[in-house]
């Protein structure tokens, strides 16, 4: 995610993708608090649901620059991260293992997406 943020031509897109990267870290670690209900804050939910895909399109008029094949893994990583807290707090270790494996697979898929060939 941070790699995607770093290559954005629009600074605003880069900032929002950095925020998505931090939200993924929060959702998969710091938001997992024993005794809580496992729900993400409204801000984290929005960041994971929209900011990565839409970036700052509301102000720039463009979408973040993504290579073909990167958008779907990005969607998957955000959705999986959003599911972590409820899974951990629901004491669902098998499901957590599945989520962790899928998170890794989605991240790998995004990394292997290639830039369009120069033309």
Domain, as residue range, for 45: 2-112
In a domain, 15, yes or no: yes
In a domain, 118, yes or no: no
In a domain, 87, yes or no: yes
In a domain, 117, yes or no: no
In a domain, 62, yes or no: yes
Cβ atoms within 10 A of the Cβ of 71, count?
A: 16
Domain count, the chain: 1
d(CA 47, CA 66): 17
Tens digit of each residue's pLDDT, the chain (119 residues): 888 899 999 999 999 999 999 998 888 775 555 555 666 778 888 888 888 778 888 889 998 998 888 989 999 999 888 887 777 666 667 787 888 888 889 888 888 887 665 55
In a domain, 68, yes or no: yes
């Amino acid at each position: 995610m941070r790699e995607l943020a770093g290559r954005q031509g629009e600074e605003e897109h880069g900032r929002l993708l950095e925020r998505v990267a931090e939200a993924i870290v929060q959702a998969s670690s710091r938001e997992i608090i024993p005794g809580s209900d496992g729900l993400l804050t409204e801000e984290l939910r929005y960041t994971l649901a929209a900011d990565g895909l839409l970036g700052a399109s509301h102000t720039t008029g463009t979408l973040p620059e993504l290579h073909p094949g990167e958008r779907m893994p990005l969607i998957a990583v955000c959705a999986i991260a959003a599911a972590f807290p409820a899974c951990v707090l629901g004491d669902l270790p098998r499901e957590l293992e599945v989520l962790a494996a899928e998170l890794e697979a989605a991240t790998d898929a995004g990394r292997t997406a290639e830039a369009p060939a120069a033309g």
